[in-house]
Amino acid sequence: MASREDEIRALRAGEALPSHRIVQLRSMGMHSVRFEFVVRLLRSALKVDTLSIYWEQGTEFMLKREIEDARRRLVLGRRNRVSGEFPDLWLLCYPDDGEIKHSVDQVLDRMVEQVREQGGR
């Protein structure tokens, strides 16, 4: 069994992983990114309904058994929606790849800032 570091190296090199592992890694990444967004919103002291955070077409793409050259959209569904896009590779490697974690953090920071600009209502 490959280590997490070996899997990340393989994914970044464009090598294939077993399809069941792709589904597992994507699911873990999606949940981790969403959780991190919720935590950041709560820490920001903004009054936001965190129950309305979802992945567009989440169930559909989470179960895909291959890596796609596509961006996934995390949405805070409110009157004035806030969203961020994440490449599939980022979801597969987050949070264990430092460079990808930094990129995800930047997107999440922008999303929190957009909520703040809208008044956090």
Three-class DSSP labels, 61-76? HHCCCCCCCCEEEEEE
Dihedral over Cα of 22, 28, 97, 55: its sign: positive
Count structural domains, the chain: 1
Side chain identity at residue 103, one-letter code? S
pTM: 0.91
Predicted local confidence at residue 120, as pLDDT: 63
CB distance 116 to 46 below 8 Å: yes
Residue % of the chain over a pLDDT of 70 = 97
Query: Using 50, 70 and 90 to split pLDDT, how confident is the model at 80?
Result: confident
Lowest mean pLDDT among 49-58, 68-77, 81-90, 104-113: 49-58
Q: Indicate the burial class of 48 (C-beta count within 10 angstroms; 0-12, 13-18, 19 or more).
A: buried
Instruction: Give the structural domain span for 109.
Output: 4-117
Lowest mean pLDDT among 14-28, 55-69, 77-91: 55-69
Side chain identity at residue 44, one-letter code? S
Between 50 and 83, the more confident residue is 83
Q: Which helix (H) or strand (E) holds 87?
A: strand 82-87
